[in-house]
Homo-oligomer: A and B are copies of this chain.
Amino acid sequence: MGVNTQPSHFILTISCDDQPGIVHALSAAVVEAQGNITESQQFSSADTGRFFMRLQVETTAGLAALEGALAPVVERYDMKSEINTVGRPLRTLILTSRAGHTLTDLLVRQRDGHLAIDIPLIMSNHDTLKPLAEFYDTPFWSQPVTTPEEKAQFEKHLLEMVDTHDIELVVLARYMQILSPEVCAALEGRAINIHHSFLPGFKGADPYRQAHERGVKLIGATAHFVTSDLDEGPIIEQNVVRVDHSQSPEELKATGQDEESRTLTQAVRWFSQHRIVLDGVRTIIFK
């Protein structure tokens, strides 16, 4: 556990069918566990009829007492629930390729203490970024992915490493390879990709060239959950930046990389703080 971990400060996230009394039942359980609610957000989805809540609770009674008090509420309302310790670094595996800007941004912020993740492994289909990983004392493994066999091997190793390191989040930091449907399914809800375009917009290859050709006045980046339906996963965060007619596709790309970095880092930060909840094909962000 990292230095920011506060063993008496917990994050509780729940979801269940919307109905009266949920907030009261949860707050009663918190009181029973001698807890104090320090942050609270909720949302009732008109789209799915589900209720979502994120609570931060301080208690000196300990985790077991909190879990014990919550158990009957979770059962009564048929809740999906999760308790995490505030500040515990999330075990994160990063997939990358040759472009290092998003990886750099993640590593810099992690080292500066602004991003609560542990990175037991970076995996890549190129060894280009190995020195960068070494500078940040982060294990790096690479293997070419040019044939179906290599891809299968790479993905097999990926799933093994997810298992070995008890990975909670996989980040595709400009990985540039399409994951197989099986891997997408295995990592559902815990793999985040950065798409170098403002979705929906320019999907597929070379969106900056598409943006130039269409003559758009803003370009953007989109962080989204990985699904087997490429570029269609639930959107987590988006940013744009103004461009003009004078910029070539290459210049758009350089400009867009800043947006890619900050958008992906923001998505990872929210995920590490358990602020992202899936509501069907949409995300709820409890900022």
- List residues of chain A with CB under 8 Å of any chain B CB: 20-21, 23-24, 27-28, 30-31, 34-44, 46, 100-101, 104, 108, 112, 114, 131, 135, 198-202, 213-218, 220, 234-240, 244-246, 248, 254, 258, 262, 279, 281-285, 287
Report whether B27 and A38 are in contact in the complex, using a CB–CB cutoff of 8 Å: no
**A218-B238, A240-B240 known; A31 vs B21 contact (CB < 8 Å):** yes
Complex contacts, A108 vs chain B, CB 8 Å: 101, 104
By secondary structure, the A interface counts as: mixed
Report whether B262 and A235 are in contact in the complex, using a CB–CB cutoff of 8 Å: no
Report whether B217 and A237 are in contact in the complex, using a CB–CB cutoff of 8 Å: yes
> Could you list some 20 contacts between A and B, CB below 8 A?
A20-B34, A20-B35, A24-B24, A24-B30, A39-B42, A43-B245, A100-B112, A131-B135, A198-B201, A200-B202, A201-B201, A214-B281, A215-B235, A215-B281, A215-B282, A216-B238, A218-B238, A240-B240, A245-B282, A258-B262
Report whether A23 and B42 are in contact in the complex, using a CB–CB cutoff of 8 Å: no
- In the complex, A220→B220 CA distance in Å? 12
- In the complex, A215→B30 CA distance in Å? 31
